[in-house]
Amino acid sequence: MVPALLVIAAILLAGSPFVVDAAPYEASMGIVSKIFYFHVPFAAAMLTSTFVSGIASAIYLIRRKPVADFVALAAAELVTVFGVVVLVSGPLWARKAWGVWWVWDPRLTMTLVMWMIFAAYLILRRFGGPGSEVLSAVVSIFGMAVAPFVYWSVNMWRTMHPQTSVVPTLPSSMAEPLWWCMAAIFSLYAALLLVRVGIERNRAALEAAYIALED
Amino acid sequence: MIGVFRAAWIIARKDLVVEARSRELAYTTLFFALSCVLVFSFALVHGAESPGADRATDAAFHSQLAAGILWVSIAFSGTLALGRTFERERQSETLRALLLAPVEHAAVYLGKLVTLLVLMFGVDLVVLPVVGFLFDAPLGAAPGLLLGVIAAGTLGFAAVGTLFAAMLVRAHSRDVLLPILLYPIAIPVILAGVRGTAAIFAAEPDLGSAFLWFSMLVFFDLVFVTLALWTFGPAMGE
């Protein structure tokens, strides 16, 4: 499963520069608009990952299956990694499109807050000591629940970022490269998630073996 | 096995009696809240207003400033109180006894929440007039709604804070972890609280939007108290 996903991701990613290059320039932004083809898929994968982590954490809290915890941790790490890509590529684009690096828009604020919550999750995992996997599960669930509130409250406060409704209205010359990149990023996401879960599973098995040896 | 609310009340009363005897938390939290108001005033208010300054922009800026400073001191002093309440239980190893008591875990959470709310509401009631006095904020413009926004915001903050403070009792480096975990999650509460309060403090109070922020806070409270009640048991379980 993992090698297949990695091969798909590699082929799609290798092809993506050519596909994006072939897409027409957006009238008002020129070459900067090409950031779009990576910014949007990474943001979509990041948001998906927050839900993967939150739902896996809820399952872990109820069932106490270790594998649910591994998935929650792997997804939380990917939220922060993909979040860095989103938070770097976004301002680069914004500087050109809006003239400023950052605005307090719902989408931007929500991305930043989600990134901070999952970074806090990782800090808790790292420094919380024994039992922190249960505590971090609660953090992940709250992180997932807080997203709509942040979005709504900042939306009421001010808004600027283009709406998601822009995606279906794209001309096919722009939509096709976008879906190509979506497929590339999501297969990369799935592969990384599975690899990370596997590492975590091995780590737990190794730890259990050590404990068994000592007893 | 006694009812959840009755058990919660007994736990809260125990905490309040302990607090009433030492008054440690009340004094320290209150003093810290007032220090926050002063520190932020010195950081953000620029000297005496020059006579030529635009009065209208100044007034608008002041109402924002007063609301912001009020909420920053509520959040910061609340964090201090949260850490201390559970430190008390940890020092004497009494949290385990509380969790072993034959009551629902939810009752322990609710009892702690009530204690913190009494404490934080007390702080709110002192800080609010101080902010009104220092920034000439119109406290009387819509007193009911103002108190509602502050109460709902404080409840939201304390609901999440109590859960995390309780969970972190047994974690390493808990003092640092509490604000790190709590602030990002409490952002909607702070934002709605500041916006709602600023709308009331404005020269021409915008009660419609203040009420909208208040409703959002109430909705937030409902969701987060429910989530906290659900996760408190499993999180404190073993």
CA distance B70 to B221: 20
| Predicted local confidence at residue A166, as pLDDT | 62
pLDDT score recorded for residue B178: 93
Question: What would the pLDDT profile of A149-187 be if each residue is shown by its tens digit?
Answer: 877 777 776 555 565 556 666 777 778 888 888 899 999
Q: What is the average per-residue pLDDT within A5-18?
A: 86
User: Are the CB atoms for B39 and B98 separated by under 8 Å?
Assistant: no
Q: Are A141 and B231 within 8 A, CB to CB?
A: yes
Residue B104 Cα distances to B13, B58, B110, B237, angstroms: 17, 53, 10, 11
ipTM of the complex: 0.86
| Interface touch B171/A135, C-beta < 8 Å | yes
- A positions 16-45 inside 8 Å of B (CB): none
Report the DSSP beta bridge partners of residue A30: A26
Among B181, B191, B192, whose Cβ lies nearest the Cβ of A120?
B181
Give chain A positions within 8 Å (CB) of B68.
Answer: none
Model pLDDT, residue A171: 73
Q: Centre a 10 Å sphere on the Cβ of residue B26 and count the other Cβ atoms it contains.
A: 17
Angle at which helices B105-135 and B24-44 cross, to 10°: 40
pLDDT for the residue B56: 58
User: What letter does residue A87 receive in the DSSP assignment?
Assistant: H
Using pLDDT thresholds of 50, 70 and 90, give the confidence band for residue A123: very high
CA atoms within a 13 Å half-sphere pointing along the CA-CB vector of B74? 35
Q: Which of B158, B127, B125, B118 is nearest to B20 (CA)?
A: B118
Measured CA angle at B222 (ends B140, A140), to 5 deg: 120
HSE, CB side, 13 Å, CA atoms: give it for residue B176. Answer: 8
- At B141-200, the pLDDT tens digits run 888 999 999 999 999 999 999 999 998 888 888 888 999 999 999 988 998 999 899 989
**Do B177 and A62 make contact, defined as CB atoms within 8 angstroms?**
no
pLDDT digits (tens, 9 = 90+) for B102-123: 888 889 999 999 999 999 999 9
The CA distance from B103 to A50, in Å, is 34
B140 confidence band (pLDDT: 50, 70, 90):
confident
Residue B47: its pLDDT value, please? Answer: 56
Give the nearest partner residue to B231 out of A61, A131, A153, using CB atoms.
A61
Query: Would you kindly state where each structural domain of chain A is located, as residue ranges?
Result: 2-214
Residues 179-198 of B with CB under 8 A from A: 180-181, 184-185, 187-188, 191-192, 195
Helices and strands counted in chain B (H then E): 8, 0
Interface of B with A in 135-174 (CB under 8 A): 160, 163-164, 167-168, 170-173
Spatial CB neighbours of B33, under 8 Å, sequence gap ≥ 6: B73, B74, B76, B77, B123, B126, B127
Taking the Cβ of residue A142 and every Cβ of chain B, the question of whether any pair is shorter than 8 Å is answered with yes
Chain B contact present for A113, CB below 8 A: yes
**Cβ within 8 Å of residue A124, ≥6 positions away:** A132, A135, A136, A139, B171, B177, B180, B181
Task: Tell me how crowded residue A209 is: count the other CB atoms within 10 A of its CB.
Answer: 10
Q: What mean pLDDT, rounded, does chain B reach?
A: 87
Give the model confidence (pLDDT) of A26-74 as tens digits: 666 667 777 888 888 998 899 899 999 999 999 999 989 999 999 999 9
Mean pLDDT of B35-47: 83
**Residue B157's pLDDT is what?**
96
Which residue of B187, B223, B232, B236 to mutate against A (max A Cβ within 10 Å)?
A: B187
What per-residue confidence (pLDDT) applies to B179?
Answer: 93
CA distances from B16 to B19, B77, B78, B166 (A): 5, 18, 16, 17
DSSP of A32-57: GGGGHHHHHHHHHHHHHHHHHHHHHH
Whether residues A124 and B177 touch (CB distance < 8 A) is answered with yes
Every domain of chain B and the residues it spans: 4-236
Contacts of A141 in chain B (CB under 8 A): 227, 231
Query: So what's the pLDDT on residue B172?
Result: 81
Q: For residue A165, what is the DSSP state?
A: G
B58 CB contacts (<8 Å, ≥6 apart)?
Answer: B49
Choose among B140, B134, B147: nearest CA to B44. Answer: B134
